[in-house]
Copies of this chain bind each other. A is one copy, B any other.
Amino acid sequence: MPSHLALLSCLLVLVLSLDKFLLHYLKRRWFSAGSGATGPKGAAKSRRSMATAKWSETAMLVIDMQKDFVDPAMRSPMLVAGGEAVVPAVAEAVAVARKRGIFLVWVVREHDPSGRDVELFRRHHYSGGKGPTVKGLKGAELADGLVIKEGEYKLVKTRFSAFFATHLDSVLKTAGIKNLVIVGVQTPNCIRQTVFDAVALDYEKVTVLIDATAAARPEIHLSNIRDMKNIGVETPTLEEWR
A interface, CB within 8 angstroms of B = 2-3, 5-7, 9-11, 13-15, 17-18, 22-23, 26-27, 30-31, 35, 112, 114, 116-117, 119-121, 151, 153, 156-161, 164-167, 169-171, 173-175, 188-189, 193, 196-197, 199-202, 204, 217-220, 223-224, 226-227, 230-232
The answer to whether B231 touches A220 (Cβ under 8 A) is: no
The answer to whether B167 touches A167 (Cβ under 8 A) is: no
The answer to whether A217 touches B17 (Cβ under 8 A) is: yes
Can you offer 23 A-B residue contacts whose CB atoms are under 8 A? A3-B27, A6-B23, A7-B15, A9-B30, A11-B15, A14-B219, A117-B167, A117-B170, A117-B171, A120-B174, A120-B199, A120-B204, A120-B232, A121-B232, A156-B156, A161-B200, A164-B197, A164-B200, A165-B167, A166-B167, A220-B227, A223-B227, A224-B227
Cα A117 to Cα B175 in complex, Å, equals 9
Cα A158 to Cα B172 in complex, Å, equals 14
Take A15-B7, A17-B219 as given contacts and tell me if A114 and B151 are in contact as well, using a CB distance cutoff of 8 Å: yes
The answer to whether A174 touches B116 (Cβ under 8 A) is: yes
| Apart from A10-B26, A120-B199, A121-B199, 14 more pairs, CB < 8 Å | A3-B23, A6-B26, A9-B30, A11-B11, A11-B14, A13-B219, A116-B171, A116-B174, A117-B171, A119-B200, A157-B167, A161-B200, A170-B200, A188-B227
CB contacts (< 8 Å) of A173 on chain B: these are 173, 202
Cα A200 to Cα B122 in complex, Å, equals 11
The answer to whether B10 touches A18 (Cβ under 8 A) is: yes
A94 CB → nearest B CB, Å: 19
Cα A9 to Cα B7 in complex, Å, equals 16
CB-CB nearest 10 A-B residue pairs: A121-B232, A223-B223, A165-B167, A159-B200, A188-B227, A2-B31, A6-B26, A174-B202, A17-B219, A158-B167
CB contacts (< 8 Å) of A17 on chain B: these are 217, 219-220
A188 CB → nearest B CB, Å: 4
The answer to whether A116 touches B153 (Cβ under 8 A) is: yes
CB contacts (< 8 Å) of A153 on chain B: these are 112, 116-117
